[in-house]
C-alpha cells in the first residue's frame, strides 16, 4: 500500500478498477462466524451436548472512519494484479463523467468528504454479480477478497464538513456464471 491504513480495491477486469484508501479509521471489527448445530441429550448435562459443524465459516470485516478533507487523493487506479481474473490496467478518475459530459471530479482527485461520499455511493458501489473487491488491512497484513456488503454514512457539522462512515466487507469467493450454454 502506498498510503492509508485500509485499502479497498475494485477487482473487475474491465471497469471499477480503483483503489480507495481509508486513512483515519476509528475502528475495525472482524467477525468470524462458525455455524455449529447443538443437539442436547435428554437427561444429560451440558458436556454431553452433541455439536456438529454442518456449514462453512463466514467472515465480515467492518471498518468505521471519519471522512475528512485529505491532503492527497484517496482514490487511485488499481494497477495491482490480484489474481488470474484481474488485469494491470486501472480505471482513470478523469473518465468518470456527469450526465452532461463534464468531468465528475474536475481536478482528477477525490479529497473532500463530499467527493469521497459521492465516489463510494455512485462510482464504487457493487452493481452486478461480477463485482469483486479486495480489502487489505495494512498493519495486520490481512488481505481478503469478497464483496462490499454495506456502506453507511452520516454527514455531521457544517464547518468543517465530515462524514461518519462505515463499510462492511463480506469475505468470500464471488462466483458468477457468464456466457451461454
pLDDT greater than 60 at residue 181: no
43-81 confidence digits (pLDDT tens)? 888 888 898 988 889 999 999 999 999 999 999 988 776
| Cis peptide bond upstream of 118, omega within 30 | no
User: Strand (E) positions, the chain?
Assistant: 6-10, 18-22, 25-34, 37-39, 50-52, 57-67, 75-77, 133-137, 142-156, 162-171
Q: Domains of the chain: which residue ranges? A: 6-35+47-171
Model confidence pTM above 0.85: no
129-167 confidence digits (pLDDT tens)? 778 899 999 878 889 999 999 999 999 777 777 899 999
- H or E stretch covering 112: none
- Mean of pLDDT values over 84-109: 82
Neighbours of 25 (CB within 10 A): 17
Amino acid at each position: 500500500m502506498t498510503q492509508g491504513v485500509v485499502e479497498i480495491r475494485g477487482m473487475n477486469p474491465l471497469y471499477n478498477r480503483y483503489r480507495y484508501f481509508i486513512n483515519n479509521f476509528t475502528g475495525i471489527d472482524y467477525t468470524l462466524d462458525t455455524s455449529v448445530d447443538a443437539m442436547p441429550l435428554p437427561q444429560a448435562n451440558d458436556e454431553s451436548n452433541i455439536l456438529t459443524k454442518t456449514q462453512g465459516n463466514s467472515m465480515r470485516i467492518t471498518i468505521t472512519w471519519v471522512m475528512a478533507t485529505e491532503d492527497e487523493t484517496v482514490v487511485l487506479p488499481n494497477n495491482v494484479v490480484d489474481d488470474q481474473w484481474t488485469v494491470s490496467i486501472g480505471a482513470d478518475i478523469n473518465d468518470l463523467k456527469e450526465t452532461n459530459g463534464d468531468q465528475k471530479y474536475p481536478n482528477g482527485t477525490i479529497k473532500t468528504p463530499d467527493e469521497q461520499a459521492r465516489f463510494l455511493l455512485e462510482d464504487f458501489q457493487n452493481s452486478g454479480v461480477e463485482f469483486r473487491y479486495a480489502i487489505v488491512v495494512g498493519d495486520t497484513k490481512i488481505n481478503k477478497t469478497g464483496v462490499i456488503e454495506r456502506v453507511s454514512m452520516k454527514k455531521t457539522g457544517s464547518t468543517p464538513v465530515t462524514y461518519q462512515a462505515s463499510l462492511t466487507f463480506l469475505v468470500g469467493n464471488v462466483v458468477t456464471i457468464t456466457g451461454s450454454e
